[in-house]
Amino acid sequence: VQISELVQSSGVPLARVKFYIREGMLPPGKSLSATRSDYSEEHLRRLRLIRSLTEVAGLPLSRTRRILDILDKPEGPVVDLLGQAISALSVDTEDFAPSDVTPVDAYPRARAVIELLGGRYEPRMPALAQLEYALIAVEEAGMSATAERLQTYGPHIWAIAEAELAELPADDPTAAVERAVLGTTLYEPVIAALRRLAHQNITASKR
Amino acid sequence: VQISELVQSSGVPLARVKFYIREGMLPPGKSLSATRSDYSEEHLRRLRLIRSLTEVAGLPLSRTRRILDILDKPEGPVVDLLGQAISALSVDTEDFAPSDVTPVDAYPRARAVIELLGGRYEPRMPALAQLEYALIAVEEAGMSATAERLQTYGPHIWAIAEAELAELPADDPTAAVERAVLGTTLYEPVIAALRRLAHQNITASKR
């Protein structure tokens, strides 16, 4: 199809489509003449993914690009790809993104929690920075995340994460990474809203 | 203590303290002379709460004020207060806040989910708008929140919410509302980060 149709089907404005092609995030169409190119179903699928990552999941361009890179060069086993993609996510904590030189004790609160829950502590896991930051906010409000509360959270959240990962297609690495990235991001607000509804439901039922 | 000490202990700048007094969010100090007033431990506690709600939990002023109003006139049983306070929260969906005239079918996706989970559907529960919005985002990304996935989420999230509500002090309505409001907001990022860490842990353990 022509670029105008691609714009129409994807809902992504022409200027942005051209930007993505220029930036190498979307492959160019097959050249038909000096002014016309042909775009395939693959282009449409890719554009929709970019739109979901940027507009729906709210990822900055830099992280969107990293995820596309992983999808384009899916090297190694699926679990490695998933690990890389999930690492590339960590929204909201760009300034806290751990690096190769992250000291082992960079996230003391998060470390204590992960060890309490029997998880593995690896300072380079980006969600550690996110957890540390969230725990600092709890402290600043004069509350404390008690071991009891965290031990209540742990098994439930691990069970949710297990089920989510089990749902990923095992035979299609690209699709698995795509779904993992979108799923991690897009179900976060679903879970938050469900928790609030649970509070409202439980409170209402006691009235 | 004097206002300067209040500023120092709370970490809230003087101009803002004066603003909160002018707006009736913080009671004025006990007048000692034309230019001096005395502030108590209660003032400090209140200021810290306002700071937590606005800066840490990120609530807009309007919602902070509604929660303070509920705390100041705790009428009715604790569960009613909790219900009101939790309703006053719903961040991120100001534009979607339901009103008295919200039609019964305003949130079809959220309704289907809540009924699937055996919860009570009341169109005025603000978290419904938040859930509907989150489910639309999932759809827009070309995914669908399957019944299986939601039925996996449901019991775990309900168990988390039950434990959280059970931790609230039963004999002090004001403290219960305060903790419920802060807890709902501040533990949301903790749960999100734990879920990402669970993904990373589970993926890493399969490598």
Mark yes or no for CB contact A202/B160 under 8 Å.
no
Mark yes or no for CB contact B140/A205 under 8 Å.
no
Q: Is the pTM of this model over 0.90?
A: no
Token pair recorded at residue A5 = 């149709």
Position A169 pLDDT exceeds 80: yes
Contact assessment for residue A179 and residue A65, using Cβ atoms and an 8 Å cutoff: no
pLDDT in the model for residue B103: 66
pLDDT in the model for residue B198: 92
Residues of B in contact with A183 (CB under 8 A): 143
A71-128 residue pLDDT tens: 888 777 777 788 778 777 764 444 444 455 566 678 899 999 999 999 888 877 778 8
Of A149, A158, A186, Cβ closest to residue B141: A186
Within 8 A by CB and 6+ apart from A15, the residues are none
* Of the candidates B133, B141, B121, the residue with the CA atom closest to the CA atom of residue B93: B133
* Chain centre to alpha carbon of residue B138: 23
Position B119 pLDDT exceeds 50: yes
Select the more confidently predicted residue: B203 or A74. B203
B56-67 residue pLDDT tens: 777 888 888 888
Select the more confidently predicted residue: A178 or B27. B27
Task: With cut-offs at 50, 70 and 90, classify the pLDDT of residue B116.
Answer: very high
Position B15 pLDDT exceeds 80: yes
Mark yes or no for CB contact B197/A79 under 8 Å.
no
pLDDT in the model for residue A156: 97
B149-201 residue pLDDT tens: 899 999 999 999 999 998 888 888 878 888 888 888 889 989 999 999 998 88
Mean pLDDT score, A18-22: 93
The label of the residue with tokens 């603003």 reads: B19
Within 8 A by CB and 6+ apart from B70, the residues are B81, B84, B85, B88, B177
Q: What is the ipTM of this complex?
A: 0.82
Within 8 A by CB and 6+ apart from A59, the residues are A53, A67, A89, A91, A185
Residues of A in contact with B114 (CB under 8 A): 197, 201
